[in-house]
Amino acid sequence: MHFSMYSYLRKFLFYFNPERSHTIALQGLRFADKLGLLRLVTKPTAHPRTVMGLTFQHPVGLAAGLDKNADYVDALAALGFSFIEIGTVTPKPQTGNMPPRLFRLVEQEALINRMGFNNKGMEYVAHQLEKTRYRGILGINIGKNKDTPLEHAADDYRLGFRHLWKYASYITINISSPNTPGLRDLQEANALTALLATLKKEQGKIAEIHRYIPLVVKISPDLSHEALRTMATILLQQKIDGVIATNTTIQREGIEQSPVAHEAGGLSGRPLQARSTYVIKQLHPLLQNNIPIIASGGVIDKASIQEKLAAGASLVQVYTGLIYHGLEIMNDTSK
């Protein structure tokens, strides 16, 4: 879609509250797909690359959280992403936090969200994926239910993995959402080692009988350099297949002017870009080229895509950039 066209659509969508316009946009997209209209969308030029043993047509994929329940995979695929990540999916359905829980910061090209893993649960998602036509690269992002105590978190991730691996090109272990109390404590050394060891064991069992499903860990941008160093050591020890850097931040730097800056939740979009790239720059040498990095956080235009790749990322994911700029972001992925 041409930018000027999207700017009209954006005006219409921004008339509604953010969560409502999210649903309107996705339902509209699915309708357009059913009518065959999405065939008219110009697809990015192919620049294939192999990452985690998978061949991606170009570097730009869709980040988790836009399609939590795999309700819109075929329509989203028609937009030309080289991969799509659905979720976060938890074992049981849950409603998430009370609305309002999603806020636009238009001037800053940012969002604050405290959705809290609202999703329909793994059974529903498996059912949706049975019906999906898409055969491209699909990441499935898994998490734990809010009411599962932290010491039993590994059981929830194992359940998600067991239930959903057969639909997945890779599985993302989300331990970095700021909106599930205690979740980010799973990034601490002992908890992380135990969780990843459990999932690697599960991965091994599935690989023996079926196929190898790459495991990817999604991390927070709010980790100190020391914490990142420990994280890198554990990821290498556990032979994790990829890292997504990063999730949303709880910092509020650069958005002090916004009337919603005080809202609790994770900040995404342009104000996250620099911090998230800085994390990639620190992580890249620590991972010694053994674990590929997928960039997420402030991928908002061509320049930010190039910045992420130059910092050491192999692929990038978009979310907030799509809300503000539409498909313009993907027009030139010539890297």
Q: Which is nearer to ligand FMN, 3 or 210 (CB)?
A: 3
What is the smallest separation between the CB atom of 272 and ligand FMN, expressed in angstroms? 5
- Residues 220 and 162: their CA atoms lie apart, in Å, by 25
Q: Which is nearer to ligand FMN, 30 or 325 (CB)?
A: 325
Q: Which is nearer to ligand FMN, 115 or 237 (CB)?
A: 115
At a CB cut-off of 8 Å and minimum separation 6, what does 228 contact? 279, 282, 283, 286
What is the smallest separation between the CB atom of 29 and ligand FMN, expressed in angstroms? 16
Nearest-CA neighbor of 308 among 59, 111, 79? 59
Collapsing DSSP to helix, strand or coil, 282 comes out as helix
Q: Which is nearer to ligand FMN, 48 or 161 (CB)?
A: 161
Q: Which is nearer to ligand FMN, 78 or 86 (CB)?
A: 86
**Residue 143: CB atoms within 10 Å:** 29
Query: From the candidates 177, 220, 258, 276, which is the catalytic residue?
Result: 177
Binding site for ligand FMN (CB under 6 A): 63-65, 68, 87-88, 102, 111, 113, 115, 141, 174, 177, 218, 247-248, 268-269, 272, 296-299, 318-321
Collapsing DSSP to helix, strand or coil, 244 comes out as strand
What is the smallest separation between the CB atom of 243 and ligand FMN, expressed in angstroms? 12
Give catalytic status of residue 177 as yes or no. Answer: yes
The beta-strand segments (E) located in the chain are 49-51, 54-56, 60-62, 83-89, 102-105, 110-113, 137-142, 170-174, 215-219, 242-245, 266-269, 293-296, 315-318
Q: Are 139 and 125 in contact (CB under 8 A)?
A: no
Nearest-CA neighbor of 144 among 183, 112, 171, 176? 183
What is the smallest separation between the CB atom of 302 and ligand FMN, expressed in angstroms? 14
Nearest-CA neighbor of 223 among 295, 286, 275? 275
Residue with nearest beta carbon to ligand FMN: 65
What is the smallest separation between the CB atom of 22 and ligand FMN, expressed in angstroms? 7
Look-up of token digits 């491209």: 136
Residues marked active site are found at 177
